Each structure stands twice: as C-alpha cells, then as structure tokens.
C-alpha cells in the first residue's frame, strides 16, 4: 500500500465551534452527499451509519426552528403596562379625594386609600405577585369597600382594572401551558447526537477506505475534505481586519499631529508653540535671589548668549558673584 493513501482520509473538524445554523447545514450536506453515492449505499455499515445521521439531523432541524421566546410575552408586557397605568390612576384619584371638602367623600377616600397602602402594590414587582395582589384589591373594592368606591364614583376604574388584571392572568397561564412540553437543553442534546452520528459515519468510511474494501469511495473522500477545508477557512476562522499601507498610516499620523491643538485655548496653543520653538536652543536656569539674603560662594548662574539681566530684574551684584 502506498504511503500517500495512509493520509488520504477524511480530515477532522471541530463541530462544536460552529453556529447552530452552520452545523445543521454541514450535516445536511454530508447526508445529501452520502445518499447520492451509490458506492456508499451498497455497503451495509455505511448505510446504517448514514441512516442514524439522517434521524439525528431531523431532530436537530426541529430544535433549530424552536423559538426561545414565547409568543405571549409581548402581549403580557402590553397588558401589564395597561394594568399598571390603571392602578396608578386609581390610587392617585383616591389620594386626591382625601383633600375634598365633602366630609362623606373625604372619609371614604381616607379609608379606601389606607386599604390600598396595606397591599403595598408596586408596578415593578414580580408579575405573579402583582397579579395576586391586584386580584385581592379588586375583590375588596367589590365587597367590603364597594360603598366607598361608589361614593367616590370610581366603579369604572375598578372594572377596567379588573379586566386588565384578568387578561394578564390568562396570558400567564397560557405561557405556562405552552412551555410544558419544552425540554431544557434539547437543542444542545440534538447537536451532540448529530456529532456522534457524524463521527461514527466518518470513522466507518475512513476504515473501509483505508482497507480498500469498498471501491469507488474516492469522490466522497475528496468532497468531504474540500468541504472541511472550506468550513475551516470561512466558518471557523475569524476574519482579520485589513492592515493599512505604510503610506496611509503616515498620513493618518500627520493629520493627528496637525489637530493636536484643535481644542486647546489660545494661551495654551501659544505656550506649546513657545516650547516647541525653543527645543533646539540652549536654555537658561536662573536662580531667583532675595535681596535680603546675600549669595553664598557656591551660587552659579548659567545663561544664554547675549543674556540681558535687566529683563529679569536680577541685581548686577548677583551676576558678578561667580566662583
């Protein structure tokens, strides 16, 4: 057997790094190619392995179409917002009635508002928690505090709040029933089953091809290696950003240098210009002196050429004092 045939087999690929859609497409391409190869279909081992891969592919495609979000979630959010608005308006109306000048209405508002505060309903609490509390509040408004509500003329408010709360409660039950059949992690399990079936198929093909027990397998092996290479280069490889040419990089840097003082005040710009203009000139370190303190013998003055001491108002006696 030639040495070249030892390495002419279907190459490995990391299926776990693929996205869900790319993974399904890859397995689907393999199944379609195996089905079109008469040489592979004639072998019992390959045919059984391909059959298991097709079954795993069906389950994976079903899981791919599953939505992670319930269709009732948006409706729940909409009616929950409506319910919160009604509750806030109802509570605010009762609170404002406490300031009315009619004694009967004022007393009814005080008692009803105290009952509302006892529930401690907050719109941002848990959905089920808020639903239960509003249900109890509506029931109290229809029974024990029905007279108070009627006296304040807030029966339409209570009826609307009850209707909105019932809609939210019904949608919550509907979402729970819709999620009963869902299995957590079923998409991941379907992918793992497809990976295992694919590995069994590829190992079977490689063994039979290595032993030369099934003739006419070269086209399938070549096709698989080409597809594996393509997926490694285009699907699994991260795209790199194109590097700019050296000329463009230099142009970008020069433009940045020109705009370095764009947002600085004028005094800062002039200060920077003065610093840059004196970079190549000798500098002077002048030690300020106090007229009341005589200089010692170690005082040294270093100056530029043509330095005029009168500009800095330094006494001439200090300048003449050199070691």
Whether this prediction's pTM lies above 0.85 is answered by no
Which residues fall within 8 angstroms of residue 209, CB to CB, at 6 or more apart?
8, 9, 217, 221
Q: Where are the alpha helices (DSSP H) in the chain?
A: 3-7, 20-36, 38-41, 44-64, 73-97, 103-119, 127-142, 146-152, 155-178, 186-211, 218-234, 246-258, 266-277, 316-320
Q: Give the helix/strand (H/E) hosting 8.
A: none
Measured distance between the N- and C-terminal CA atoms of the chain, rounded to whole angstroms: 97
Say if residues 181 and 5 touch (Cβ distance below 8 Å). Answer: no
Rounded CA-CA distance 105/323 in Å is: 102
pLDDT in tens, the chain (323 residues): 444 444 578 999 999 999 999 999 999 999 999 999 998 999 999 999 999 999 999 999 988 877 666 778 888 999 999 999 999 999 999 999 999 999 999 999 999 999 999 999 998 889 999 999 999 999 999 999 999 999 999 999 999 999 999 999 999 998 888 777 777 788 899 999 999 999 999 999 999 998 888 888 899 999 999 999 999 999 887 766 566 555 554 455 444 444 444 444 444 444 444 444 444 444 444 444 445 545 554 444 445 555 555 555 545 555 454 44
Torsion of the alpha carbons at 234, 235, 237 and 238, rounded to the nearest 10: 100
């Amino acid at each position: 057997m030639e040495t070249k045939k030892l390495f002419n087999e279907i190459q490995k690929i990391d299926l776990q790094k693929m996205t869900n859609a790319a993974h399904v497409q890859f397995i689907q391409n393999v199944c379609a190619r195996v089905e079109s190869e008469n040489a592979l279909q004639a072998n019992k081992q390959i045919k059984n392995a391909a059959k298991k891969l097709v079954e795993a592919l069906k389950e994976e495609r079903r899981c791919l179409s599953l939505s992670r979000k319930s269709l009732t979630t948006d409706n729940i959010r909409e009616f929950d917002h409506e319910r919160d608005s009604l509750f806030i308006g109802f509570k605010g109306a009762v609170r404002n009635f406490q300031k009315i000048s009619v004694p009967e209405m004022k007393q009814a508002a005080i008692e009803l508002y105290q009952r509302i505060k006892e529930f401690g309903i907050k719109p941002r609490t848990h959905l089920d928690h808020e639903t239960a509390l509003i249900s109890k509040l509506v029931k109290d408004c229809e029974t024990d505090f029905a007279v108070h509500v009627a006296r304040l003329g807030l029966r339409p408010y209570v009826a609307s709040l009850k209707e909105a709360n019932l809609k939210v409660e019904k949608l919550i039950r509907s979402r729970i029933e819709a999620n009963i059949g869902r299995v957590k992690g079923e998409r991941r399990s379907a992918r793992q089953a497809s990976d295992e079936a694919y590995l069994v198929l590829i190992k079977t093909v490689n063994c039979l091809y290595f032993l030369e027990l099934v003739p006419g397998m070269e086209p399938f092996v070549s096709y698989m290696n080409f597809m594996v290479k393509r997926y490694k280069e285009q699907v699994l490889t991260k795209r790199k950003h194109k590097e700019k040419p050296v000329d463009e990089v230099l142009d970008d840097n020069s433009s940045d240098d020109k705009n370095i003082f764009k947002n600085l005040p004028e005094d800062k710009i002039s200060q920077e210009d003065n610093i840059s203009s004196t970079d190549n000139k000798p500098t002077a370190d002048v030690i300020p002196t106090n007229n009341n303190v005589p200089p010692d013998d170690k005082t040294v003055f270093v100056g530029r050429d043509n330095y005029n001491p009168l500009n800095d108002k330094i006494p001439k006696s200090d300048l003449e004092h050199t070691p």
